[in-house]
Structure 1
Amino acid sequence: MTLLHWAILSPFIYALFIPLVHKCFKNLHMGWFILPLPIVLFCYLLNMIPITSANKTLVEEVNWIPSLNIDFTVNLDGLSLLFSLLITGIGALVLLYSTFYLDKKKEKLNLFYFYLLLFMGAMLGIVLSDNLIVLYTFWEITSLSSFLLIGYWNEREKSRNGALKSMIITVFGGLSLLGGIILLYLLTGSFEIQEIIVYIRQQDVHSHPFFLLSMFCLLLGAFTKSAQFPFHIWLPDAMEAPTPVSAYLHSATMVKAGIYLIARLTPIYAQSAYWLWTIAVVGIITLLYGSFFAVKQTDLKGILAYSTISQLGLIMSLLGLGAANFHFHLENDYYTIATAASLFHLVNHATFKGSLFMMAGIVDHETGTRDIRKLGGLMTFMPITFSIAIIGAFSMAGLPPFNGFLSKEMFFTAMVTIKEFDLFQFGTWGVLFPILAWIASVFTFIYSMMLVFKVFAGKYKPEQLPNKPHEAPIGMLISPLILVSLVIVIGLFPNILSNTILSPAVAAVYGDVPSYDLHIYHWHGFNIEFFMTIGVFVLGVLLSLTFTKWKNIYRMFPYSINTLYDFLIEKGKVWAKQLTNRYMVGSIRTYLFYIFTFLVAITGYTLLTKNGVNFHGKNLAQIGLYEIVLSLVLIGATISILFTKSRLTSIILLGAVGYSVSLFFVIFRAPDLALTQLVIETVSVALFLLCFYHLPRNARKKESIGFKMNNAIISVLVGITFSIIAISSYNTKLFDSISSYYIENTYKKAAGENMVNVILVDFRGFDTLFEIAVLTIAAIGIYTMIKLRLGGHNSENK
């Protein structure tokens, strides 16, 4: 195990100590115990910058399941380092913020931080793993930990529903991701991403049917995790989680997992035009949809949720355009500007959106509400929070001199330069990309202004506020202040990231690019992008001031995908209940009828279609008088059980069936089996008599002729089917019998003379042990139920 492996596993190991620390130090806020871990990890990863900035890759491998080609391979390059720094850096700030935000007396902080560490470790595992199966394992841990964090306040119905929705959608995408991984393995013979990239470059597999199928399966997994249209509906409901969770999972880390996956797999699939078009189109639609409906929201976190959807769409569309390099093999900077813009905006989004989520949490914490219709005039009461809001919101709106302005300008440049690509020429549908990008930027400007001026400007409404507003404590302000400071610093000095963080990440996305010299400027002259920015500002201000006059446009959209989801969930419950009531009738006989019918149908179909019926009498022994007599007795006793009306008679006849079978064992020279059968039948008859003694008198229901006929038919079919299977199995010898092995080795290896006992105790020792364990568990369960039943009766009698 290397240090990188321990970096991934350390949050999981650290989480194991939380219960002990919580029990021993009850007065300690658990956040102070957790905080050092992400700080140490962040500092460790910072030391890796010289390695990645030199365009080197650090690969460490630990064997996990070699027989299945699954190794715990860690791959640290520019792309994985960028995401790892975000996970640990933003994680440290969120933990510091949560230490002051969450009350240790009111909250179960041990559970909260346990879930948070699970998530942090899983995200590090995703971005550092080179093996797709290991990546998928961590991928599903993020879905599970996200579910637990969103539903942290489980006493609230909205929290439970939001957690369930996120689980359903992201796990659905995760299963699709697993299918894509398996198809990719069948296509290339490897789970290692770097090996797959090499194989794809050497072999022409683009015409293989698994290529496109695996691509769309993987894209589905990425889109669901990164809240792309139409799978975005889980993200707004996830805002029911505590604000630190929203700031960490839903702005900086979890929702970026899908973006990381697409960036990492770009060298594999980008030769296909379907990859470019799908990502670019889904991204631009998500950008426009999220920004348009963010303006409609009245909840602070609701606005931020839809703005996150919009910003994720922006990054996704840039990745789609950036992948065009692989398709066209361009020799200029057109192909890199889009990818560089996507990664740059990824960093910028984490800074300004993290600070805005924390700002929303502060407003909610200090005023008691997040409804912007009740808020207003808070700048005089909360001047520091107002400063945080204005810097974060102006950066998100793309205004200078903040970092969001720079990545937004690069976004416009990428959209304008798509004319260089044949697939995206202005004479085709590609002309819509810059148009939709510009429209979405206008709505982004509007909701950014709403976050500031609807909350901190305007009329103060103290009568509508549950709490009297005041500035947050300094501890709660440190983290957002650090983030907005980064917004300013990166905005003024963007090239501190360009060749240290961003260029290696761009090179890692393309794989075969040795280096990329990136320089970010504030001024590019009077070009199309400049006039697009001016247009966004002018129209954005105009629409913001006249919002009350055109807001009724949202009434044109009474239904949404969320409405469809709710309908399917509600109807699904009704349909499931109706279906369940049809077969869960409380009758064991009915359940057995279903089971045997299905068994006969599947087994019979297989025997007939696979030519499995094989019957001849060459290997059969002679049938004597004793076998005939015992068979008649066994058949007669079995049929008599069906017609007897007495329980005592049924038990005796059932015992006769068992004793007849034991006599067969005697005739066939199997005394051990005969003795075992005799003991079991004796004990069974005695237990039956004991149990039936306590049952009420037998009141048989009159059963219809049709019901009896159905039972008779299925019983005969089961008997015939299994008889055919037994005879066919006996007459079909595909391998040598294992009995010779037992004959030769029973005494030699097990030092036993009784072959049956040796097989049960030695050769099949674990099987027998597990059977005993199952019987023990069943016995404990039966004993517990009997005790509870008797205890209940005693309490009632008292």
Structure 2
Amino acid sequence: MSLLHLVIILPFMFAVVSPFLHKMAQRIHTGWLILPASVFMFIYFLGRLPQVQDGERVTSSVPWIPSLGVDFTVYLDGLGLLFALLITGIGSLVILYSIFYMNKTKEAIGMFYLYLLLFMGAMLGVVLSDNLIVLYGFWELTSISSFLLIAFWYQREKSRYGALKSMLITVFGGLAMLGGFVMLYLMTGTFSIREIIGNAASMTDHSLFVPAMLLVLLGAFTKSAQFPFHIWLPDAMEAPTPVSAYLHSATMVKAGLYLVARFSPVFAGEAGWFWLVSATGIVTLTYGSYRALKQTDLKSMLAFSTISQLGLIMSLLGLGSAAAVYSGTSESLFYVKATMAGIFHLINHAVFKGALFMVAGIVDHETGTRDIRKLGGLMSVMPVTFSIAVIGTFSMAGLPPFNGFLSKEMFFTAVLNIMEMDVFHMQFLGVIFPVIAWVASIFTFVYSMLLLFKTFTGKKQFEKLEKKPHEAPLGMLLPPVVLASLAVVFGLFPNLLSYTLIEPAMAAIHPTMLLPGQQFDAAIHIWHGWTTEIFMTIGVIAFGVVLFKLHHRLKVLNQPLFSGMTLNKTYDGGLSMLDRGAKGLTDRYMTGSIRHYLIYIFIFLIVSIAVTMGSSANIRFDFSAFAPMSLYEAVIIFALIVPVIAVPFARSRMMAIILTGTAGYMVTLFFVIFRAPDLALTQMIVETVSVTLFLLCFYHLPKLKKEIVALRFKLSNFIIALGVGVVMTLIALSASSSRSFESISKFFIEESYNLAGGKNIVNVILVDFRGFDTMLEIVVLGIASYGIYALIRLKLPGEQESAGAGYWESGSKLPINGIKSNDVILQTISKVVIFIILTFSLYLFFSGHHEPGGGFIGALMTAAAFVLLAMAFGIKTIREVIPIDFRRVSAAGILVALLTGIGSFVFDAPFLSHAFGYFPLPLLGQTELATALLFDLGVYLTVVGITMTIILAIGRDN
């Protein structure tokens, strides 16, 4: 594992410990302990600048699922480095800002930094992953972590609404994007982004090319809040301001832009890509800037301005993709200027918008409101904040000498250049882009001036404020001061970025644009003479000043255009309709009857399997290779059938349990005569524990009433039971008769010891070859046990929680000791037998790698000993003798199993890879040791914890 991998993992490591750091560090803000990690990551990426600038690429790979082509491969090029610096650099400033913004005594600071670091790590994973599946995993993790951050103040209904809205829309886009990734894999046979880019030329004629492009764009548009998917971003402003400054101006909303830029080498040059990206961007730019004029809340205004600026960058990436038509020629450099403008404005926007969001947070923090109708005259009491706001708003408006002016001029140049294109039939439609860009820039100028002057100048209205306004503390001012300073520096010295960040990023987006020995002209000049762009800027200022002065008089700029159907109402109505439809459909089949649910499941099983078997030509039944039935087998079959048939006719629950147990023990005999000791041991212990669970459950049920059951009821049960039995029998017979492939058992017999160091094939499969399956199974079992515990502890409305609540509550109708035997003989024998069983369970655990046994069987045997203890002395005795919370035991087991799997990464091996060897031990001499034993220990602890959690919960004292 490389250092680059560790840098990506570092935020997750700090995220795990941040709640504990908050508890331990009572005197200092947790952010001070988190900040060094973020600064370290920024310095690390800053140190990679010379390397990437020289054309080198940092790459490293850790195997994950090699058989599916899914590896954790990281790739650092110019584009990835640009985003990594934004994520860690602005992230560091946001953490510093949060230290002074978030109240450490009133807020859940530990959880706040957990979510923030989780998001930071996820974003780094998105921009540095070379594998599509890994990228998708991190992509969805950004949606989940942003959901948690937006809903941080979950007591507010608007926070919950905004969080859910953002997650639904972005996850919808993410799922669509995943479909596009799968199509790219089907076209190229690889999940590697670099290899897909290398095969781009051979993909354009494939039938899946356009659908893949559309799905990838859907993911990008939803994440970057492009029209009409932008509606989640304004509602996300309910998040704390540090979250808005980080996620919704500099990082998360830029993920869609990153996706478009990263996949431009694959799709650029296609007319559909050009029109969709550039047109969606220009529409979003205009709509967002127009809507920003109508806002009265500072963060809402910044939210729509963010939508607008994201549309600007998206349109530039789309316009720049036209350069692919001239790939390899000198003309391509003329059109690729649009991409350069997009990259430059992406940096500029992150800088000035991050500063403005922090300014909004300062105003809210120091005045108690963000409503510009109540603000005004703050310049005199908040001079530093006002200065930052001047730089940020002037840069956003595109005024010199700030960085936003330069990128806006480059934007005008790009839309003017598009008019001269002779591809994509641009001669007529290309004129639209400069006109729309100019109008949107006027709106941008107006809302920037409104934000600045309505807040800081004009009449003082301090009596309307919740707090007496004053300047923010130095720690809260320092981060926006840094960002504002960068806006000035990048405006006066833009070439600090030209060949350090912009040129390497352009090389990553357009890798085939250049001829041999050629390079991009990434130089940025402050003055180009009296060009068309300058006159467009003068026009923007002139018309902008007029609109700013007349803003309060023009209804079209202050009132909604549509009071009826809007995109937000469409979203709310659609969600409500889905809720009603889902409830109506669910109510039809969720009747509350377990019998009905089982009928649905079994009928679906019977029909689906029967139809599949009947329509498949490969299903056949050949009994010629079957061995003849022996007398022992015939006797056991008869002994098995009799209790199974007798169960429906049993007149008491006790008899039904006995008959069911008898059938289970007969199956155990089958495993014995078929020489499967592991299965026999497992079946025997499972049957013993199951019978105990049945007894505990039935003990709490009311007395069985003898009622006359309708014939129709019995007949339907009989038909379904017969159908399931017939179908499963046919499956077993066909599986034995129509094998299309050679049995894999030969491989396990030959390689179990060579590859895994174990002679017990069954246990080796469980802990090594199929260890991932086993780990997921114990996780599922653990969740099930917690679910059972929660259901039993559930208190319905009106019920009172009894005193001394725990596993076993008092005040019930049952005796305080619960289920308890008064058999002195049983109690005396149990004292000896329990230790024998526990000793045998440990033997099964340690011998399982070579002999019958293993962690699962040993755990069940241990649980059986505890069950015997409970039956002899009562449930309460277990609590007194073994004062352990078995839920924590199962959690510890899952953690041990997981850490064992993760440990293989240290040795550059795939997840859950095991090793074995011989080592000299005291007294024991040369002894074979296998890391699989550690994984088996996790299984052992989990199964013991799960089994006892269920038994103790069901058999509690009430």
TM above 0.5, one fold? yes
Q: Distance in 1 between matches of 2:408 and 2:752?
A: 78
The answer as to whether partners of 1:334 and 1:420 remain within 8 angstroms in 2 is: no
What amino acid sits opposite 1:600 in the alignment? I
Aligned counterparts of 2:852 and 2:696: Cα–Cα separation in 1: 36
Q: Does 1:571 align with 2:571?
A: no
Q: In structure 1, how many angstroms separate the alpha carbons of the residues matched to 2:312 and 2:758?
A: 69
Deviation at 1:106, TM superposition (A): 2.1
The letter for the 1-side match of 2:59 is E
CA contact (8 A) 2:693 2:951 kept: no
- Cα distance in 1 for partners of 2:554, 2:197 equals 51
Rate the CA distance shift 1:448–1:771 in 2: closer, same or farther, 3 A. farther
- In structure 2, the residue corresponding to 1:62 is in which secondary structure? strand
Distance 2:45 2:675 in 1: 73
Change (3 A) 1:640 1:150: same
Name the structure 2 match of 1:431.
Answer: 431
- Map of 1:296 onto structure 2: 294
Give, in angstroms, the shift of residue 182 of structure 1. Answer: 2.9
Which stretch has the larger CA shift, 286-295 or 165-174? 165-174
1:372/1:14 CA distance change after superposition, 3 Å: same
Distance 1:705 1:336, change over 3 A: same
Q: Which stretch of the first structure deviates more once superposed, 204-213 or 408-417?
A: 204-213
Tell me if structure 2 keeps the 8 A contact 1:247–1:353: yes
Q: Deviations over 1:37-95 (max 9, x none)?
A: 333333343333333333x1232323323444444444333222222222222222222
2:553 to 549, 555, 569: 549
1:418/1:425 contact within 8 Å kept: no
The two structures, once aligned, show a CA RMSD in angstroms of 3.8
Equivalent residue letter for 2:555: K
8 Å contact 1:424–1:431 — kept in the other structure?
Answer: no
Q: Is the 8 A contact 1:267 1:509 kept in 2?
A: yes
Shift of 1:449: 1.5
The 2-side partners of 1:751 and 1:7 are apart by: 41
Residues 445 and 750 (structure 1 numbering): CA distance in 2 closer, same or farther, change over 3 Å?
A: closer
The question of whether the paired residues in 1 share the 8 Å contact of 2:71 and 2:131 is answered with yes
Q: 1:539 aligns with which of 540, 543, 549?
A: 543
Residue 666 of structure 1 deviates from its aligned partner by 10
The TM-score with structure 1 as length reference comes to 0.88
| TM superposition shift of 1:9 | 3.1
Structure 1 residues 289 and 701: CA distance shift in structure 2, 3 A? farther
Please give the per-residue CA displacement for 1:695-745, whole angstroms capped at 9, x wherever unaligned: 433235665555444333322221221222233233335466789999999
Give the SS at the match of 2:371: coil
| Structure 2: 5+ residue stretches without partners | 764-843, 862-939
Aligned partner (choices 595, 601, 608) of residue 602 of structure 1: 608
Quote the offset at 1:528 in angstroms: 3.3
Structure 1 gaps, min length 5: 794-798
1:270-309 matches, cutoff 5 A? 270-309=268-307
User: Partner amino acid for 2:380?
Assistant: T
Is the deviation greater in 487-496 or in 442-451? Answer: 487-496
The residue aligned with 2:43 is 43
Partner of 2:229: 231
TM-score by length of 2: 0.74
Kept after mapping to 1: 8 A contact 2:678/2:853: no
Q: Distance in 2 between matches of 1:505 and 1:11?
A: 25
Question: Hey, what's the Cα distance between the residues in 2 that align with 1:507 and 1:658?
Answer: 68
* Aligned-partner residue type, residue 288 of structure 2: G
Most deviating of 205-214 and 258-267? 205-214
Gap change, CA 1:410 and 1:643, over 3 Å in 2:
same
Q: CA deviation at 1:477?
A: 1.4
Quick check: 682-691 or 270-279, which moved more? 682-691
CA pair 667-263 structure 1, distance change in 2 beyond 3 A: closer
Q: Which residue of 1 aligns with 2:568?
A: 562
Letter in 2 for 1:104: K
Q: Give the direction of change, closer, same or farther, for the CA distance of 1:454–1:671 in structure 2 (3 Å limit).
A: closer
Say whether the 8 Å CA contact 2:657–2:694 is kept in structure 1: yes
Letter in 1 for 2:57: L
| Cα 1:610–1:471 shift into 2, 3 Å | same
Deviation at 1:358, TM superposition (A): 0.7
2:179 corresponding residue in structure 1: 179
Q: Which amino acid aligns with 1:784?
A: L
Task: Indicate whether 1:786 and 2:937 are aligned.
Answer: no
Structure 1 Cα separation of the partners of residues 623 and 503 of structure 2: 78
Count matched residues: 785
- Judged with a 3 Å threshold, the aligned counterparts in structure 2 of structure 1 residues 337 and 669 are, in CA distance, closer, same or farther, namely closer
Query: Corresponding residue for 2:833?
Result: none
Distance in 2, matches of 1:746 and 1:282, equals 57
1:424 and 1:739 map into 2 onto residues whose CA distance is 60
Q: 1:717 to 1:402 in 2, by over 3 A?
A: same
Preserved contact between residue 681 and residue 857 of structure 2 (Cα < 8 Å): no
| C-alpha contact (below 8 Å) 1:498/1:518 kept by paired residues | yes
The 1:239–1:709 alpha-carbon spacing in structure 2 relative to 1, beyond 3 Å, is: same
2 CA distance for matches of 1:164 and 1:151? 8
Paired with 1:531 and 1:743, the residues of 2 have a C-alpha distance of 81
CA drift of 1:566 comes to 2.1
Residue pairs, 1:64-79, within 5 angstroms = 64-65=63-64, 66-79=66-79
Q: How many angstroms does 1:303 deviate by?
A: 0.7
Counterparts of 1:776 and 1:132 in 2: how far apart (Å)?
Answer: 39
Query: Alignment partner of 2:117: what SS?
Result: helix
Identity of aligned residues (%): 55
Are 2:748 and 1:580 equivalent residues in the alignment?
Answer: no
Of 60-69 and 234-243, deviating more is 60-69
Distance 1:667 1:39 in 2: 66
Measured after TM superposition, the shift of residue 660 of structure 1 is 7.7
1:175 and 1:576 map into 2 onto residues whose CA distance is 21
AA in 2 matched with 1:597: I
1:335-382 Cα offsets, whole Å, 9 max, x none, are 122011101111111111111101100110011011112212222222
Given residue 82 of structure 2, which amino acid in structure 1 is its aligned partner? L
Contact 2:179/2:212 (CA < 8 Å) preserved in 1? Answer: yes
Contact 1:425 1:431 in 2 (8 A): no
Q: Deviations over 1:750-792 (max 9, x none)?
A: 999x99x99998478467568775764453233332355x3xx
Matches within 5 A, 1:281-680: 281-329=279-327, 331-332=330-331, 333-423=333-423, 425=425, 427-512=427-512, 513=514, 514-552=518-556, 553-619=559-625, 641-642=647-648, 647=653
Q: 1:611 to 1:487 in 2, by over 3 A?
A: same
Aligned equivalents of 1:82, 1:742: Cα separation in 2: 49
Partner Cα distance (1:745, 1:326) in 2: 52
SS of alignment partner, residue 411 of structure 1: helix
> Are 2:246 and 1:243 aligned?
no
Comparing 141-150 and 269-278, the one that deviates more: 141-150
**2:591 aligned partner, one-letter code:** V
Cα distance, 1:138 vs structure 2: 2.9
Quick one: distance in 2 between partners of 1:312 and 1:40? Answer: 29
Residues of 2 paired with 1:210 and 1:602: CA distance? 30
- With 358-367 and 595-604 compared, the bigger mean Cα shift is at 595-604
- Code of the aligned partner of 1:61: S
1:331–1:736: structure 2 CA closer, same or farther, 3 Å change rule? Answer: closer
Measured after TM superposition, the shift of residue 206 of structure 1 is 0.9
Aligned residue for 2:554, secondary structure, equals helix
Alignment deviations for residues 150-204 of structure 1 (CA, whole Å, 9 cap, x no partner): 2222232222222222222223333333333332233223333223222324xx2
Between the aligned partners of 1:626 and 1:400, the Cα distance in structure 2 is 96
The one-letter code matched in structure 1 to 2:723 is: L
In 1, Cα distance between the equivalents of 2:416 and 2:435?
9
Contact 2:421 2:427 in 1 (8 A): no
> Hey, what's the Cα distance between the residues in 1 that align with 2:955 and 2:661?
29
Cα deviation, residue 277, structure 1? 1.5
**Change in 2 beyond 3 A, CA 1:191/1:628:** closer
Distance (whole Å) between structure 2 residues aligned to residue 91 and residue 681 of structure 1 = 56
Counterpart Cα distance in 1 of 2:69 and 2:543? 56
* Structure 2 counterpart SS, 1:281: helix
- Describe the shift of the 1:292–1:653 C-alpha distance in structure 2 as closer, same or farther (beyond 3 A): same
- Larger deviation: 114-123 or 252-261? 114-123
Q: Once structures 1 and 2 are overlaid, which stretch shifts more, 264-273 or 583-592?
A: 583-592
CA shift digits 1:569-605 (9 cap, x unpaired): 3333333333333333333322221111111111111
In 2, distance between residues paired with 1:240 and 1:776? 45
Distance, in Å, in 2 between the alignment partners of 1:673 and 1:88 is 53
Aligned partner of 2:726 among 720, 725, 732? 720
